[in-house]
Amino acid sequence: MMKKWFNQYFNLNFFKTFVLTSNYLKHVSIILLIGEIILSVLIVKNVKYTEIDWLAYMQEVEGFLNGTYNYSLLKDKGTDIRIAQYIFLGLYIISLYLIFRIYILTKKVPAYMLIFMCCTSYRVHSLYMLRLFNDPFAMALLYLSLNLFLNNKWTFGSIIYSLAVSVKMNILLFSPALFIAYLSVLGTKDTIIQITICAIVQLLLGSPFLLTDPVAYIKGSFDIGRVFLHKWTVNWRFLPEILFINTKFHILLLSLHLILLLIFAKIAITYLQSYAKLKFVENDVVKQIKKHSTPDINMSTVSQLFIFPMFLANFIGITCSRSLHYQFYIWYYHTLPYLLWCTDLSVTFRLLLLGFIELSWNTYPSTNISSAILHVCHIVLMYHLYKTNNARLKSKENAK
């Protein structure tokens, strides 16, 4: 029996299936999670922590715990860095689990891309364990909410999504697609309910500050007029600083953001409406499977119809961002393999794009060339996302 097992699994054909397909994503994910735990502990123990924003976060936490509810007066410091690093290590593993679960449910990418995703980014490991930004908390909550939505737990998902927004406003980049998903799956009445739930969460979290000084809280939370420092920008380094901080340039980027959302609107709406219909069928099929104890049916395409618009909306927002800082890489890093596999590009070209994007984010300080490369990669990916998915829509329309 041992020989039979050895012959079945220790051969080239099985290795190819294991690595080059999505058939064994669960097994690959488990191996990667174990490896990441070991690697992350080694990073925390052996690589020096770099202070950037941690003390600033602790200023706000300490002030809040001491009863300071005026948003503009929060200050003090926190210094227990090692414990914080282990907390962020745990957060990283939880985030990876949630991300892997999405990839397992969708079965969109081959297993080797999960390996690439874990093993090729120094920047991502650094952001979690050595920089201690709040972005990882926001993204972990976001990925949890997406998993809940995929499981039809809409109310719980909305609560978690709103919590993610309360940590970092960039989570709102997903909101155009989520709004369409609400309407497509739940209808108008329940969409209003879900939006109300999101609003209630925001009011509850902000109530200590809103009751103390609502103007200071709203001004601090929604500071859309904030001026970013040109020296930290990853994506607009090649622009003169006077143009980089120009309000008209910011309005232009916002306009481009809205235009791109409109261009992709038909694709997103069609996918999410199809998702709603197939999800209804899936729920009925699952009941029949449980009732008659029949083998599971692969419904991964259904999950793909939901996840693609979500990742796409976020990618559009990032592409049109008026400034990307190094910690913002995790806003979309783990979605890039998925988006690349939603195009008709060759595997080689997909990996090249991913490599150049990684190179741009790992160039410190950013240069005119690294910023330009990042934009070229974003534009190429955006173009092929539209080209590929628009062609799919047209082929389906012609087939009717």
Give the CA angle between residues 100, 101, 102 to the nearest 5°. 90
Per-residue confidence (pLDDT) for residue 362, from 0 to 100: 94
Q: Determine the Cα–Cα distance for residues 180 and 348; give it in Å rounded to an integer.
A: 34
Delimit the domains of the chain by residue range: 24-133, 151-223, 232-400
User: The tokens of 334 are what?
Assistant: 């783990």
For residue 300, the one-letter residue type is S
Q: Determine the Cα–Cα distance for residues 304 and 312; give it in Å rounded to an integer.
A: 12
* 240 prior amide bond cis, ω within 30: no
Q: Determine the Cα–Cα distance for residues 284 and 277; give it in Å rounded to an integer.
A: 11
Calculate the alpha carbon distances from 193 to 129, 181, 189, 390 in Å. 38, 14, 7, 32
What distance, in Å, lies between the first and last C-alpha atoms of the chain?
52
The 10 Å Cβ neighbour count of residue 118 is 22
Per-residue confidence (pLDDT) for residue 1, from 0 to 100: 60
361: left (phi over 0), alpha (psi -120 to 50) or beta: alpha
Q: Determine the Cα–Cα distance for residues 190 and 155; give it in Å rounded to an integer.
A: 10
Per-residue confidence (pLDDT) for residue 130, from 0 to 100: 78
Closest CA to 339 of 122, 135, 103: 103
Which helix (H) or strand (E) segment holds residue 28: the answer is helix 25-46
Cα 99 from chain centroid (whole Å): 9
Residue 365, judged by CB atoms within 10 A of its CB (0-12, 13-18, 19+), counts as exposed
- For every one of its 400 residues, what pLDDT tens digit does the chain have, with 9 covering 90 and above? 666 656 666 777 878 888 889 999 999 999 999 999 999 999 988 887 765 554 555 555 454 455 544 444 444 455 567 788 888 899 999 999 999 999 999 999 999 999 999 988 888 988 888 777 889 999 999 999 999 999 999 999 999 999 999 999 999 999 999 999 999 999 999 999 999 999 999 999 988 888 888 877 777 766 666 778 898 999 999 999 999 999 999 999 999 999 999 999 999 999 999 999 998 887 666 555 555 554 455 666 899 999 999 999 999 999 999 999 999 999 999 999 999 999 999 999 999 999 999 999 999 999 999 999 999 999 999 999 999 999 999 888 777 6
| Contact between 29 and 110 (Cβ < 8 Å) | no
> Could you tell me how many residues make up the chain?
400
Q: Determine the Cα–Cα distance for residues 348 and 264; give it in Å rounded to an integer.
A: 26
Q: Determine the Cα–Cα distance for residues 131 and 133; give it in Å rounded to an integer.
A: 6
Cα Rg of the chain (Å, integer): 22
Residue 168, judged by CB atoms within 10 A of its CB (0-12, 13-18, 19+), counts as buried
For residue 161, the one-letter residue type is Y
Q: Is the dihedral of CA 86, 90, 93, 96 positive or negative?
A: negative
Per-residue confidence (pLDDT) for residue 64, from 0 to 100: 46
| Contact between 136 and 164 (Cβ < 8 Å) | no
How many alpha carbons lie under 13 Å from residue 183 in its C-beta half-sphere?
A: 11
Per-residue confidence (pLDDT) for residue 2, from 0 to 100: 63
Residue 377, judged by CB atoms within 10 A of its CB (0-12, 13-18, 19+), counts as buried
Residue 109, judged by CB atoms within 10 A of its CB (0-12, 13-18, 19+), counts as buried
Closest CA to 232 of 165, 359, 369, 328: 328
The 10 Å Cβ neighbour count of residue 264 is 23
| Contact between 371 and 235 (Cβ < 8 Å) | yes
